Structure 1
């Protein structure tokens, strides 16, 4: 069960503030995209834009790691000029380890942020990073397979 329990249960990505980053010595955030930073298959809003700007000011690198296709990731990342990788095959770690090397990240100063226990939290744990689980954004817009997975996740959470 320890591989499915996040280090931090957050309501929203914006709970990560400059003081929070400093307290936990976070220099790189590897974040899921859909339902973590934006509604599934939608672009980011003003709030995510402001958060990304805050990360820049704090010299924290944001890297999007998604199981979605590269086109979806590029559509989100390009306007913000941030790193983004699709087809990451979470919870496997091989692709993300490559991306860690590309951006010069270390597990000790990285956070894996996401909205799903079985992909994001488990992947971050396997990488040896701190993990943060957020409540999903726009859950009503998610595909059916994600909705089913969330029901199983709710059972797992009862054992925390």
Structure 2
């Protein structure tokens, strides 16, 4: 495993989150973001959901696939120094394995997009093609990134230890 120097650390002494990781979460949770944007939109003449999803079935399938990535996203949001050392240890153990649900979500998402392409009799759709390319990029990034290996093995120390040093 390769180690990265202090220029890669944040103010807590842990490895900084790569921008591509944030983008990966955005791609994998895009159905939820679109849902929130559509819910916050107060213009009834602009139906955002029908622009993105062809049917309710497609929307609910996208929500189910994206649900796999919610747990890593929540644990990622908790990735800061905890006051309770026991919860920090538990979250650190859990964080080490959060790459696998993200990879599974990306594989499911790509499979679902391929199934959607097959149901449209492989008629070219720019929207579907862009989604497939982006999800394939996310899948390759999650599988091949060396920095993510180090990033998923790192967790901030509890505040009690950090203050005593």
TM-score, shorter chain, exceeding 0.5: no
Determine which structure has more spread, i.e. the larger CA radius of gyration.
2
Tell me the TM-score range normalised by the shorter chain.
under 0.3
Q: Which structure has the highest strand share of the two?
A: 1
Q: Which structure has the highest helix share of the two?
A: 2
Q: TM-score, normalised by structure 2?
A: 0.27
